[in-house]
Amino acid sequence: MQVLKTVSCPLIELLAPLVERDGYTPTPLSTVSLMGVRRPVARTPLMYEPSLIIVAQGYKIGHLGDREIHYGPGQYLVQTLPLPFECETHASAEAPLLGMSIRLDPALLGELVTAMGERNEDDETPVPMASVSMTDGMQGAVVRLLRTLHDPAETAAMGQLRVRDVVFEALRGEQGPALRAMVHHQGHYSRIVQVLSRLHGHFAEEISVEDLARQANMSPSTFHQHFKQVAQASPLQYLKRLRLIKAQQLLVQEDRNVNQAAEAVGYRSVSQFSRDYKRYFGTSPLQHRKEERALQAS
């Protein structure tokens, strides 16, 4: 198992008083959430929206296709596409996972990319999800943002500038090309990004691979190849995982029943939904909801 750097005490000291509970704690800044987990979490499917994930204590291991992505103290995760993946969390009551998520706002990203000017990128397809070593510049930007969150007046006056500072540092980092690819609408990668956007807006509808390939202006075979290269899953695998993760959110966070969740994500058969759900998450949708409720009540 990969050994990560020693924990960063300033970040822990700034995060700990702000994290109110397990899961995500919202902040007055709409794109910033704080994370806390006080127990280990076995490998389970999930999906991040395009975001930066900074972990100050504890660590996570993401599994995307055949890749293992470690992120913890001394690193941050850059997620440029909403990709279903599997994640395990290493944390305990004595040393809880503490971190922060910054959702990537397309308008801010576009503004910064334009201001920073064109850069010569290589021709390789960007990596949509990767951990990056924490530079001194990124560390300083994160510390300033967290200090700002301790002061409501400073948050109101300077919070957006502090977020801008962090995103700027990410653009200067190793995953800068992948972040810039979210703005530059060119090439196969950009076409796949547009297809993913459509899937997220219409995941409950009947969608064929042929329709998606036409949208991307590719032949079905070429589209399948490029889609799998980016998403580490076939288009139909991706759509199924997306539907199941959306259903999980409806069951756990919005308190829908199994029938309602199945229908909302496009399943016509509740029994097929339950089978797919159990195969993906390792437990039935009803049992999953009961377990999550028990954890939230404890």
Q: Which residue has the tokens 């199994």?
A: 258
What is the third-level CATH fold of 9-181?
Jelly Rolls (2.60.120)
Per-position DSSP letters for 179-239, written without gaps between them: HHHTT---HHHHHHHHHHHHHHHSTTS---HHHHHHHTTS-HHHHHHHHHHHHSS-HHHHH
Q: Which residue has the tokens 């399948």?
A: 224
Mean pLDDT across the chain: 89
DSSP state of 61: E
pTM, entire model: 0.84
More confident position, 117 or 39: 39
- Domain segments of the chain as ranges: 9-181, 187-297
More confident position, 188 or 243: 243
Q: How far apart are CA 251 and CA 156, in angstroms?
A: 34
Q: List, for residues 221-237, the tens digit of each pLDDT value.
A: 999 999 998 888 999 99
Q: Are 178 and 80 in contact (CB under 8 A)?
A: yes
Helix (H, G, I), strand (E, B), or coil: what is residue 16? coil
**The architecture CATH gives domain 187-297:** Orthogonal Bundle (1.10)
- Compute φ and ψ for 96, nearest 5 degrees: -65, 155
Q: List, for residues 116-134, the tens digit of each pLDDT value.
A: 986 666 556 788 899 999 9
**Is 9-181's fold the same as 187-297's?**
no
Q: List, for residues 45-91, the tens digit of each pLDDT value.
A: 989 889 999 999 999 999 998 899 999 999 999 999 888 999 999 99
